[in-house]
């Protein structure tokens, strides 16, 4: 199912896989570099009935393959925020992002807050805090080096890594996403007035415990830090535990004003 957001957004950014129109809250998920909304499809039926999952589809991939790729965080977050804003006005939304998606979700949360439609909570995964981001230039590397990053971080099946056709199709999207991540300049800390939950894998080469804990500087509300066993894509092998932690966060944070079941 596609969630049509109307002409104000210019494009259809959100994908829903299990409609729950009467849901008390919505979990909106932002993919990692090179990822698509479909990465979160398996989560939809595993969430409790009062939570509806929607996933963001970035331009230039899957059913948006004909659209120009986005190469700057400002454009990515501006356009995604336009799509999410109508849902945030209707009821509680929790934003979840992994890796690049964590940065996009955070920037969307900042834009929603500025417009008076702050999310109920922000959940960031596998990403250092904005002021602890590492300076890298992978998007400028040759194709072999860029593709090797996909294998190094895990999360991509060996059949995909070994396919010349899939490599050719995936590299432009992957390079553009890395450019979004690596050219992102978050500026000085501007704490959000919403709870932030930070998740990370205890063997993730991309984020240390200290770098993940740095997200505490970006909220004036509650902050929690949770480690899961695994590498950068711990959320695949630890899916059940991750969803349990998110659900607990939704229950504790999104409904604290008495709006939950």
C-alpha dihedral sign at 134, 137, 142, 147: positive
Q: Between helices 73-90 and 100-114, what is the axis angle to 10°?
A: 60
Tell me the pLDDT tens digit for each residue of 13-59. 999 999 998 888 999 999 999 999 999 999 999 999 989 999 999 99
pLDDT of residue 261: 41
In a domain, 261, yes or no: no
pTM check: above 0.85: yes
Q: Evaluate if residue 11 carries a pLDDT over 60.
A: no
Bridge pairing between strands 51-56 and 223-228? unpaired
Neighbours of 83 (CB within 10 A): 23
Average pLDDT value for the chain: 87
Tell me the pLDDT tens digit for each residue of 101-158. 999 999 999 999 999 999 999 999 999 999 999 888 788 878 788 888 776 656 555 5
The Cα 149–Cα 153 span in angstroms is 6
- The mean pLDDT of 245-258, rounded to a whole number, is 66
Domain that holds residue 31: 2-254
In a domain, 24, yes or no: yes
Bridge partners, 14 (sequence order): 3, 56
The Cα 9–Cα 254 span in angstroms is 25
CA-to-CA separations, 74 to 15, 58, 99, 192, 222, in angstroms, rounded: 21, 13, 17, 18, 26
In a domain, 18, yes or no: yes
Q: What is the CATH number of the domain that holds 18?
A: 3.40.50.1820
In a domain, 189, yes or no: yes
Between 62 and 211, residue with greater pLDDT:
211
| Sequence-ordered list of residues with C-beta below 8 angstroms from that of 144, at least 6 positions apart, any chain | none
Count how many domains the chain has: 1
Tell me the pLDDT tens digit for each residue of 180-238. 999 998 878 789 999 999 999 999 999 999 999 999 999 999 999 999 999 999 999 99
232 among known catalytic residues = yes
In a domain, 259, yes or no: no
Tokens of 150: 């996909």
Q: Out of 32, 139, 184, 232, which one is annotated catalytic?
A: 232
In a domain, 260, yes or no: no
Kindly report the backbone phi and psi dihedral angles of residue 228, in degrees, each rounded to the nearest multiple of 5, phi listed first: -120, 150
Q: Out of 99, 103, 125, 170, which one is annotated catalytic?
A: 99
């Amino acid at each position: 199912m596609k969630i049509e957001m109307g002409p104000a957004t210019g494009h259809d950014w959100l994908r829903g896989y299990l409609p729950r129109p009467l849901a008390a809250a919505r979990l909106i998920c932002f993919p990692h570099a090179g990822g698509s909304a479909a990465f979160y499809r398996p989560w939809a039926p595993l969430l409790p009935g009062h939570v509806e999952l929607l996933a963001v589809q970035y331009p230039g991939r899957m059913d948006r393959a004909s659209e120009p790729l986005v190469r700057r965080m400002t454009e990515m977050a501006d356009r995604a925020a336009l799509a999410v804003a109508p849902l945030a006005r209707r009821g509680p939304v929790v934003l979840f992002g992994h890796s690049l998606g964590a940065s996009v979700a955070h920037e969307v949360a900042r834009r929603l807050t500025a417009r008076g439609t702050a999310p109920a909570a922000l959940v960031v995964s596998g990403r250092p805090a904005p002021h602890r981001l590492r300076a890298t230039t992978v998007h400028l590397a040759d194709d072999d080096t860029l593709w090797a990053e996909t294998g190094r971080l895990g999360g991509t099946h060996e059949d995909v890594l070994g396919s010349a056709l899939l490599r050719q199709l995936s590299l432009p999207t992957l390079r553009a996403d890395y450019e979004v991540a690596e050219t992102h300049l978050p500026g000085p800390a501007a704490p959000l007035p919403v709870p932030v939950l930070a998740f990370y894998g205890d063997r993730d080469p991309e984020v240390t415990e200290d770098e993940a804990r740095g997200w505490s500087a970006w909220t004036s509300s509650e902050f929690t830090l949770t480690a899961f066993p695994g590498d950068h894509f711990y959320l695949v092998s630890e899916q059940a535990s991750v969803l349990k932690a998110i659900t607990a966060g939704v229950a504790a944070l999104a409904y604290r004003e008495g709006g939950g079941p």
